[in-house]
Structure 1
Amino acid sequence: MSEVKIGILGMGNMGSGHAKNILESNATGAVLAAVCDERVERLKWVKETFGEKIQLFSSVEDFFANANVDGVIIATPHFNHPKLAIKAFERGLHVLCEKPAGVYTKDVRQMNEAAKKSGKVFSMMFNQRTNPLYQKVRELILSGELGDIKRTNWIITDWYRSQSYYNSGGWRATWAGEGGGVMINQSPHQLDLWQWTTGLMPKRVRAFCGFGKYHDIEVEDDVTAYVEYENGATGLFITSTGETPGTNRFEITGDRGKIVVEDNKLTFWKLLQSERQFNREYQGGFGEPECWKIDIPVKGEGTHHLGILNNWVDAILNGIELLAPGEEGINSLAITNAVYLSSWTDNWVEMPIDEDLYYQKLQEKIKESTFVKPEIEIKTLNMSVTF
């Protein structure tokens, strides 16, 4: 195979962006062969913008039966991601899925099993993993430079949204339409980076969500989540769409110092001696280990969506390692599900969560939702989401 023929499911903002990347020859080895969207106007736009050679489909069943493609990019509403991915794997197609992996882990776990069974290349559009700043954070931590992690804190509140944003679509910020609020819509990238850079997943979660705290919506727009890790470390994740000016600060404290990411800068406060060793051996009363403040140089620019797309295509053609394996999409979603379940039950939640209980609670929320959801079937491809 010298090129990968790609089909895009969903031609909203994200799907259209991927199409442009491919057709403007930014994606090496990729050819846009087909698109699918139930909206006639979007298919018309594709034809007028990109020409006659691309196959156009208004039905998923027709697409999977007749599209001449090797792989698919899934850029549809959240609920549909696992269903469409499974259908693609069953037809022997490679898959690149937009974030989040889905709405509930029970569904995503089935998607991962289908991916493994198919043997096809499966990637998740975690484009922030291409950012050299976060790659350097991961390198510092996994190399042992920071020592054993003691605490992680991420304040990500620069997601401000006005009421008019939520009023722009009846599906927005509803349990039936999106399956959640700021955690599942705006914060998946940070949730992914939180566990990807540190190599840690929480063992239990206690969370507090403000549902419609700052907006007239039914889902959460303010979250404070406290987590505990297997090694005894703790973490805090704070996010909101109701604060301005917002903050984006990621801080990780370890036995050998502290890393802070803020304002696109990486600072490492490096201890010249392990804090635990200093604590045991120092006899002077007041005192601290010597510490150097180091501004870590970060070279290069993040390649974002195009970087993940190129990486996926390269993995199909040449077998290179994926930067964002699709199976890892379940990790950030598992944290989100645990946060919701903790808030709904007003209690601690152990991880992995009780997936059946979560699904039951989510269905209760969907039944009470103000958005009357069309039956969630794979034919539903309306996609015009702006994150």
Structure 2
Amino acid sequence: MQVSDTFLWPQGYYTDGLNAGMRHHKNDMGWLVSSVPAAAAGTYTTNQFQAAPTKIMKHLIGTHHQLQAIIMNSVCANSCTGAQGTANAQTVREWGAAKLAIPVDLVGIASTGVIGTQLPMAKLQAGLAQLQLTQDQAVTTAIMTTDTHPKTCSVTLTIDDQPVTITGFAKGSGMIHPMMATMLGFVFTDATIDGSVLQALLSQTVDETFNQITVDGDTSTNDMVVALANGQAHTHPLTPTHPAYPEFGEALKAVLAHLAQGIAADGEGATKLVEVNVTGAATHAEGQMVAKAVVGSNLVKAALFGNDPNWGRIIAAIGQTHATVDTAHTAIALNGIPLVHDSLEVPFDEPQVKASMAAAKVTVDVALGAGTASGQAWGCDLTYNYVKINASYRS
């Protein structure tokens, strides 16, 4: 299995992106198209105010587990837009189906951007007319909002003596606190797998990756991760009994984890990626909970921004959870440098620790002393620029 930032196109897929006039210069619209109907799976935001495109995708995939095209736009979330917003999303799907000469039930839609405004339909119609069946990475920038760069990942592997590719791209920078976050993620592969099997695998893998990142504790209205598998590599169907199923699952996880970490590292105003590794947990679920609590604590995040090895912030974050903790034998390390052993500070070279915390990635290791399970989560530091960006996001 080979993992790469290089954007590869699995067999039978096309992408394109362009500026439809919703922004002054940047790309704001794109699509992902398969040459044949593809098995589809999805996971979605748990925010109660789900946007029109999110509801539509959830219904489409939940009903048929099949899609052939997804039309995407940034700038306008088409959220809290009532019946008109739903009708507009349906119209865009109908335009796409007509252009591609495929059934409308095979056309999905995804939007991100400002909540509460209607889609600019004339601009979307004109933009859709210009989209082509090309292999253009512009789609990865068309979905960006406050992102500083696109997040992409491709994995290649061999199944049944056939080359198989899994590629993913995502957007996300702020309002990140899944169960799903303000992000869109799209993964597509030429492997052969039934939609219901893909759904189970995607749901499990999202729990271990995208649902373990946090930037600011907020969950948005539009978020989804969608996976497509069109079978154009002509492998045997992947099922849990197929010899290559575990490897395919690991490859899918590698793509999602890479994208998830990319989103965490690109948190609004962030200067560093933060990884929290928990060991000694009573259960895996508790390990995951503690890891996410530490990486999500604003006090921890602020300390990390200031390169301050204030391990008391980490202890407090751990203690706020209901996870089982041996409070007399907890250990903490920053970038491999022990700070706490048996719940007591150990001597450490503070300038050395502070210097290590200035790196682009900071790793926090926590040992709970309560069992043998583990957990992992990713996030970023909390900076002055986060407030600056979000103080004027709409205006």
TM-score category, normalised to shorter length: under 0.3
TM-score (norm 1): 0.25
